[in-house]
Amino acid sequence: MTRNLSVEPPRVGNTLAELRQLRALSLDELSRLAGVSKSMLSQIERNQANPTVAVVWRLANALGVPLGQLLDGERPALPAITTVAGHATPSLRSPDGKCELRILGPIELAGQFEWYELTVQPGGRLESEAHEPGSREHLTVLGEGSLEVRSGTDVSTLQANETARYVVDVPHSISNPTSALVRALMVVVHAS
């Protein structure tokens, strides 16, 4: 009798991340439901830690799925429509606190194609290091106001309802030179 034993333990990270997102749960919310620390959940989702059976059992119960679904890496069936509550949409802030990026795209597209709602307070500046060669951003000012876009040494001022498309494989920034709050949609397309 031959046994087919895998040398490596099952990786539950991708399945866990997909199930958490399908249920519109933040890491904090799943942490509370399952009784597993947020840092451990983050490590599991990034496949940097392999959870114990007890942890997988708690996660499966919190998500309402069979234990085997997490262990086998079964891809969950996608519903025709999923919604994410506003409070469950993750966001990032610039070091000065004047820029907020609400992450609108799903985690499985991160590093390929990403989109954000960008809010920039007066005087705010969002600075970024160069992305991989060939990457581009697309920025559209929504409603009122204007934003200044820098890509390397090139500068352009974007007015209400205008879109800028620019390379981001160089240091780049977005700033608000006005005295009003400005909202924009930002799409990042990473080179393949």
Q: Residues 14-47: pLDDT tens digits?
A: 888 888 887 778 888 888 888 999 888 988 888 8
Q: Are residues 93 and 177 in the same domain?
A: yes
Global confidence as pTM: 0.61
Domain extent for 184: 89-189
Pairwise pLDDT comparison (117 vs 84), residue with the higher score:
117
First-to-last C-alpha distance (Å) of the chain: 45
Q: Say whether both 101 and 64 belong to one domain.
A: no
Residues 6 or more apart whose CB falls under 8 angstroms from that of 174 comprise: 99, 118, 120, 125, 126, 139, 147, 148, 149, 150, 184, 186
Q: H/E element holding 22?
A: helix 13-22
Residues 93 and 185 both lie in one domain:
yes
CB of 146 closer than 8 Å to CB of 182? yes
Q: Are residues 117 and 171 in the same domain?
A: yes
Any domain includes 132: yes
List Cα–Cα distances, 87 to 45, 102, 103, 184, in angstroms: 21, 11, 12, 19
Question: 65 and 108 share a domain?
Answer: no
Domain shared by 170 and 128, yes or no: yes
The DSSP code for 182 is E
Count of residues in the chain: 192
Collapse the DSSP code of 44 into the 3-class scheme (helix H, G, I; strand E, B; otherwise coil) and give the result: helix
CATH number, domain with residue 172:
2.60.120.10
Whether residue 180 contacts residue 158, with contact meaning beta carbons closer than 8 Å, is answered with no
Domain co-membership, 61 together with 112: no
CATH code of the domain in which 40 resides: 1.10.260.40
Residue 1, pLDDT > 60, answer no
Q: Please tell me whether residues 115 and 180 are part of one structural domain.
A: yes
Q: What is the pLDDT of residues 123-175, one digit of tens each?
A: 999 999 999 999 999 999 998 899 999 999 999 999 999 999 999 999 999 99
Query: How many domains are contained in the chain?
Result: 2
Whether residue 53 is contained in a domain is answered as yes
Same domain, 114 and 178: yes
